[in-house]
């Protein structure tokens, strides 16, 4: 299906690995010029940058000025913004072990980075009378989990921010949607220092068993693949989704048991 994305310009936050890298790959493969930023690059991103459709910017998106610097690298036009950067620190010690510093760091990266990137990209979209903003949220915005308590709260804030913004800018031609994955086969869950390894250290269970237990909670019995999330982002970025705004798309293998 031709999504009509050739020649569009997109900014993707956190595009060096995982879902972000899959989104960058999908957009570039559809003819979109992609500007993406991350604190550290990766072999996968460097390879995409050599293709000519992708520009990688070294930027700390936790820095309050970082998102605006990334958006500025796109020049005077941004057609698509994908707010992807985030982290999901496991909290096996429970609520009383989560410090103010932990709370602020999680909210800063999982919510405020999206707020700041949106603030920087929105003026050019308003001037054009068109644009698509897609934020990678999480099922934990609704399926609040004490094991990722501050992450759940930050993602709930992100979902509310995007829904409210969609009402403000929808009449001006700008669509705002969220995509909410369940567990995804990325380093955030399965890599060194990821959720599975952190829970393993706290409980004594093997990391593979922690991951298998998480997968068993999904109807499909498996983690979502990053490319599956990217496919939904790609559709929402396109004019094929021209009358979709203020919506959330769950990609969780049936993890959330209610409508």
* Tokens encoding 213: 């237990």
User: Would you give the DSSP letter of residue 17?
Assistant: S
* CA 123/CA 121 separation, integer angstroms: 6
Residue showing tokens 């609704």? 142
Q: Which of 236, 239, 256 is nearest to 247 (CA)?
A: 236
Q: Which one is catalytic: 25, 89, 151, 196?
A: 151
199 domain residue, yes or no: no
Residue span of the structural domain in which 72 resides = 9-184+225-251
Chain mean position to CA 22: 11
Catalytic (active site) residue 143:
no
* CA 139/CA 174 separation, integer angstroms: 24
104 domain residue, yes or no: yes
Q: Give the strands of the sheet with 33-38, arranged side by side.
A: 54-58, 33-38, 9-13, 80-83, 131-136, 174-181, 248-251
Q: What is the pTM of this model?
A: 0.95
CA distances, 255 to each of 67, 188, 214, 222, 231 (Å): 32, 18, 9, 10, 19
* Tokens encoding 183: 């567990």
CATH of the domain at 23: 3.40.50.720
115 domain residue, yes or no: yes
Provide the number of structural domains found in the chain.
1
147 domain residue, yes or no: yes
242 domain residue, yes or no: yes
H-helix or E-strand spanning residue 33 = strand 33-38
Give the CA count within 13 Å in the CB-facing half-sphere of 117.
Answer: 41
190 domain residue, yes or no: no
210 domain residue, yes or no: no
Across 53-195, the runs of DSSP E, i.e. the strands, are 54-58, 80-83, 131-136, 174-181
* CA 91/CA 129 separation, integer angstroms: 43
Per-residue pLDDT of the chain (259 residues; tens, 9 = 90+): 689 999 999 999 999 999 999 999 999 999 999 999 999 999 999 999 998 899 999 999 999 999 999 999 999 999 999 999 999 998 999 999 999 999 999 999 999 999 999 999 999 999 999 999 999 999 999 999 999 999 999 999 999 999 999 999 999 999 999 999 999 998 778 877 777 787 778 778 888 888 888 888 899 999 999 999 999 999 999 999 999 999 999 999 999 988 8
Which tens digits make up the pLDDT trace of 181-231? Answer: 999 998 778 877 777 787 778 778 888 888 888 888 899 999 999 999 999
216 domain residue, yes or no: no
- β partners of residue 136: 179
């Amino acid at each position: 299906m031709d999504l009509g994305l050739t020649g569009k310009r997109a900014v993707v936050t956190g595009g060096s690995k995982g879902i972000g890298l899959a989104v960058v790959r999908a957009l570039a493969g559809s003819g979109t010029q992609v500007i993406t930023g991350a604190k550290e690059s990766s072999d996968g991103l460097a390879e995409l940058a050599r293709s000519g459709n992708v520009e990688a910017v070294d930027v700390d998106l936790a820095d309050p000025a970082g998102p605006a610097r990334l958006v500025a690298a796109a020049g005077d036009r941004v057609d698509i913004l994908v707010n992807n950067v985030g982290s999901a620190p496991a909290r096996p010690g429970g609520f009383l072990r989560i410090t103010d510093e932990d709370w602020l760091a999680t909210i800063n990266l999982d919510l405020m980075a999206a707020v700041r990137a949106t603030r920087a990209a929105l003026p050019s979209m308003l001037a054009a009378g068109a644009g698509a903003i897609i934020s990678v949220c999480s099922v934990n915005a609704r399926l609040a989990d004490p094991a990722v308590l501050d992450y759940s709260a930050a993602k709930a804030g992100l979902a509310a921010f995007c829904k409210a913004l969609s009402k403000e800018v929808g009449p001006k031609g700008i669509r705002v949607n969220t995509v909410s994955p369940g567990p995804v086969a990325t380093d955030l869950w399965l890599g060194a220092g990821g959720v599975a390894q952190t829970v393993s250290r706290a409980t004594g269970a093997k990391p593979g068993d922690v991951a298998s237990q998480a997968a068993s909670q999904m109807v499909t019995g498996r983690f979502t693949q990053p490319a599956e999330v990217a496919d939904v982002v790609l559709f929402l970025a396109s004019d094929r989704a021209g009358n979709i705004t203020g919506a959330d798309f769950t990609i969780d293998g049936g993890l959330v048991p209610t409508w």
